[in-house]
Structure 1
Amino acid sequence: MIPRGKLIVVVITAASVSEQAGAKQALSKLNQIRLGVARRRHRMGRLIRIWVDGGYRGQDFTHWVMDVYRWLWSVITRSEEQKGFVVLPKQWLVERTFGWFNWSRRLSKDYEILPETTEAFIYVAMIRLMLKQLA
């Protein structure tokens, strides 16, 4: 989950897990964080709309997200007339963030055995980037 290129939640799954099943894990983790922040009376921006790529399309899944979490789920796809590479709205935020991860040596290749280790290194890389932007 990337607002303005800053990560909130990372979930690493096996390649055999579908995108929608992985999204359910990520949304559940995001909701737990959101509820935990609300209990501590800290202010966290209100999540309203989530932009996703074509792998998450489907009316059933979109309605499930709206029913369970009350978030708007917008699937961004390119039009059928367009051929080749096309920059889609909001997709560049995600691609730019993935590009930032390549600056971290541990994330430039998949060195880790456990998915939890990869998640931890992604959080470390994001903390480093945010500290660099604050300085």
Structure 2
Amino acid sequence: DAQSIKTSANVPTAGQGIDAGKKIAGRKRHIGVDTLGLLLAVWVTAASVSDNTGGIHLLSSIASANPHVTKAWADTGYRTKAIDHGARVGIDVEVVQRAPGVKGFKVIPRRWVVERTFGWLMHHRRLVRDYETHPRRSEAIIHVAMIDLISRRLTRESTPNWRDT
């Protein structure tokens, strides 16, 4: 999945874009997670980059780093190009769609896992807005946030967040 996020004033305009669907000027975080919601791949781009392009890049990264991954669930933003690329790298991409006729908010099976991961990332104050001047630094901060999350769970330490301060 992908998340569009606003950027701070110190981010160069060359690294930003406009996500027309969400009406956000900034960057887009494309992430791939496993069934537990743990990060497999991340790619930070301008918000104007399409979900298909991000999906193709993520599928390539996941296939090369995790050859045991054979199935991926995606939202409706990932159309034929990402599905075809997934088949080329050996990953079956299934688009999970909303049930027809459902109005308002409804949890979509398998899709909530990646949305929950975005929620975990939002507990890290530095990720609420993109402050980094280079997209690679943003990716590194996301990795650090996931390392922090995993290490706190392994040590059974309570997780402080910016909302509790």
Aligned residues: 123
Structure 1 equivalent of residue 59 of structure 2: 27
Structure 2 equivalent of residue 56 of structure 1: 78
Distance 2:75 2:82 in 1: 13
Distance 1:103 1:63 in 2: 35
Task: Tell me the CA shift for residue 33 of structure 1.
Answer: 1.9
Structure 2 equivalent of residue 38 of structure 1: none
Structure 1 equivalent of residue 152 of structure 2: 132
Distance 1:61 1:110 in 2: 26
Distance 1:61 1:28, change over 3 A: closer
2:109 match: secondary structure: coil
Unpaired stretches in structure 1, ≥5 consecutive residues: 36-45
Structure 1 equivalent of residue 26 of structure 2: none
Q: Percent identity?
A: 39
Structure 2 equivalent of residue 2 of structure 1: 33
Larger relative contact order (Cα-Cα within 8 Å, sequence gap ≥ 6): 1
Q: Which runs of 4+ in 1 moved over 6 A?
A: none
Distance 1:53 1:13 in 2: 19
Distance 1:8 1:61, change over 3 A: closer
Q: 1:14 aligns with which of 43, 46, 58?
A: 46
In the alignment, does 2:143 pair up with 1:104?
no
Deviations 1:103-125 (A, max 9, x none): 11111222122111110000000
Normalised by the size of structure 2, how large is the TM-score? 0.69
Structure 2 equivalent of residue 88 of structure 1: 108
Distance 2:124 2:82 in 1: 34
Normalised by the size of structure 1, how large is the TM-score? 0.83
Please state which structure has a larger fraction of its residues in helix: 1
User: What amino acid is the match of 2:43?
Assistant: V
Unpaired stretches in structure 2, ≥5 consecutive residues: 1-31, 156-165
In the alignment, does 2:150 pair up with 1:119?
no
Please state which structure has a larger fraction of its residues in strand: 2
Deviations 1:22-49 (A, max 9, x none): 11111222233236xxxxxxxxxx2111
Distance 1:48 1:32 in 2: 12
